[in-house]
Copies of this chain bind each other. A is one copy, B any other.
Amino acid sequence: MNFTPATIKTIAFDADDTLWVNESYFQDVEQQFNALLAKYVSADVLADRLYAVERTNLALYGYGIKGFMLSMIETALEVTQGLISTKDIQQIINLGKVMLRQPIELLPDVRHVLDSLDEDYTLMLITKGDLLDQETKIARSGMGDFFTHVEIISEKNPKDYQQVLDRHHIDPSTFVMIGNSMRSDVLPLLEIGAYAIHIPFKHTWVHEQVQDDGFTHPKFMKLARIAQVLEHFDTPIRKS
């Protein structure tokens, strides 16, 4: 599958775990959360309970670190039957605040890929999570200027993508989304007739996990690294 500016006009990127590290920070914090509660509950049980609480709260809190913090506190109260110390609750809040201030660690070749595609394509960023947190991450990444449009949305279902495309008068057949989540960055796009490229990250939150071994679709491809994107797009680099 190769794209030229005549077929594809807009290339959209997911942000977390596609352009920069994110899930690793959640997993680090979960390990510290486990350590805090180790005397009450095993890591496996805790992980199950936390995910159950997160999933229940998703409809109220949406995605993002603030909801994760509130769900950790609620899980801690539940699994310790209220025996957790208030010092440890403060510690959970502190873990979340550290996440919110986390420096942005760009994945390899991200700047080069954006810079190469920027000349011939309209670049877009589409991400979900807390509004302010996502905005400050984009600003801290230094990548903001590459994107003509930045869309921070609350959910990544087909109708949400369709709304974004409608808002910018984009024909799905000229649009490709690149991201690390089959569930959020690939399947909804194929459903609305757009292209999608899956670039797995080493860690995937259980909520985003979809079995994709051997998945094929005429508008889909899977790549191992973001640098390989350039092999499939007609860019100044390839022309030279």
Chain A interface (Cβ within 8 Å of chain B)?
A: 60-62, 66-67, 69-70, 73-74, 77, 80, 82-87, 89-90, 93, 96-97, 100-101, 130-133, 135, 152-155
How many angstroms between the C-alpha atoms of A83 and B70 in the bound complex? 20
What 5 A-B pairs come out closest when comparing CB atoms? Answer: A62-B132, A82-B86, A66-B66, A132-B154, A131-B131
Q: When the two chains form the complex, which single residue of B85, B93, B101, B154 contacts A70, counting CB atoms closer than 8 Å? A: B93
Partner of A66, one of B67, B77, B90, B135: B67
Cα distance, A133 to B60, chains bound together (Å): 7
Residues on the B chain within 8 Å of A67, using CB: 66
Q: CB distance A89 to B73 under 8 Å?
A: yes
> Within the oligomer, what is the number of copies of this chain?
2
Asked if B73 and A93 sit within 8 Å, CB to CB, the answer is yes
Within the assembled complex, what's the spacing in Å between the Cα atoms of A74 and B62? 21
Taking CB atoms, residues of chain B closer than 8 Å to A100 are 60-61
List 29 A-B residue pairs with CB atoms under 8 Å apart, sorted by A's residue number. Answer: A60-B100, A60-B101, A60-B132, A62-B130, A62-B131, A62-B132, A66-B66, A66-B70, A66-B130, A69-B70, A70-B70, A70-B93, A73-B73, A74-B90, A74-B93, A77-B89, A80-B86, A82-B85, A82-B86, A82-B87, A82-B90, A84-B86, A86-B89, A89-B89, A131-B152, A131-B154, A132-B154, A132-B155, A135-B154
- List, in ascending order, chain B residues with CB within 8 A of A130's CB: 62, 66, 130-131
Contacts of A155 in B (CB 8 A): 132
Contact between A61 and B154, CB atoms less than 8 A apart: no
Bound-state CA distance A74–B100 (Å) is 16
Contacts of A135 in B (CB 8 A): 154
Q: Which residues of B contact A85 (CB under 8 A)?
A: 82
A86 touches B77 (CB 8 A): yes
Contact A66 B73 (CB under 8 A): no
Q: A70-B70, A74-B93, A132-B154 are in contact. Are A86 and B87 (CB under 8 A)?
A: no
From A155, which residue of chain B is reached at the shortest CB distance? B132
**Docked pose: A93 CA to B130 CA in angstroms:** 18
Q: For A131, what are the chain B residues with a Cβ–Cβ distance below 8 Å?
A: 62, 130-131, 152-154
A231 to chain B minimum Cβ distance, whole angstroms, is 33
CB pair B61–A66 under 8 Å, yes or no, is yes
